[in-house]
Amino acid sequence: MRIIPAIDIINGKCVRLSKGDYNTKIIYNENPLEVAKMFESHGIEYLHLVDLDGAKSSKIVNHKILEQIASKTTLKIDFGGGLKSDADLKIAFECGANQITGGSIAVKNREIFEKWIAEYGSDKIILGADANNEKVAVSGWLEDSNEDLVPFIQMYQRKGIQYVICTDIAKDGMLEGPSFELYKKILVEVKGIKLIASGGISTFEELPKLAEMGCEGTIIGKAIYEHKISMKDIENFILNN
């Protein structure tokens, strides 16, 4: 299972929110590149970079930070937050993203999202299926859609999607443990999907459990920043898996 630390960006700074609420913002570092280099020094290969300003304004905003991290580290970056147009996608890939994550766009403009899958290939496009009570949430989680989570993922799997990041919003940033039951349900009902668990990771012990269930990756944010999981433990997990 891949370990994928998260860096969320607001105003060029590394922040975390709770349950996606912008009013709960905590700034952890003024310099995201510094954080990315720290991850790299501990054997991390992957990074989940979220442009929260972009998510709010529905267009890419913090692409310079993406470019900086991509050019000054060897991290493979998946980038998301506000990607709404072909131009946004082009900027993200030109600035060094290995993959992009599309969330709201996959609900609100299926035509363009399906075109991206066909054009760039399913190894480059990740489906961001964020859930609130098993309904897909959109617009930086500011609104719920009427889409049921599992059928939504199944539909996009038929369109070629391989990778899905699923965040249970109720868990995100709360350090109360991930949504094991929800992930189990997805893995049972959507055979062959590469599921990346996100939200709520709070202790090291949860990582082997997610790996055992069959998650392809897990995104860790606040647990690292709040020192609930040490980088040493993560380093050992990577070396031994």
- Let me know: does 96 contact 77? Beta carbons within 8 Å: yes
Name, in order, each residue with C-beta under 8 angstroms of 141's C-beta and a sequence gap of 6 or more. 19, 20, 130, 132, 169
| Active-site hit among 53, 78, 130, 172 | 130
Question: Domain 2-240: which topology?
Answer: TIM Barrel (3.20.20)
Give yes or no for residue 140 having a pLDDT over 90. no
Bridge partner list, 10: 13
- Let me know: does 3 contact 46? Beta carbons within 8 Å: yes
91-104 confidence digits (pLDDT tens): 999 999 999 999 98
What is the average per-residue pLDDT within 150-174? Answer: 91
What interhelical angle do 110-120 and 86-94 show, nearest 10?
40
Type of residue found at 83? L
What interhelical angle do 86-94 and 63-72 show, nearest 10?
30
Dihedral (CA of 208, 213, 218, 222) sign:
negative
179-205 confidence digits (pLDDT tens): 999 999 999 999 999 999 998 899 999
**Would you call 8 a catalytic residue per the annotation?**
yes
Where do the structural domains in the chain lie, given as residue ranges? 2-240
What residue has token string 């304004």? 57
Paired sense of beta strands 76-80 and 46-51, if any = parallel
| Active-site hit among 8, 53, 88, 168 | 8
Rounded to whole angstroms, the Cα distance separating 64 from 152 reads 32
**Would you call 233 a catalytic residue per the annotation?**
no
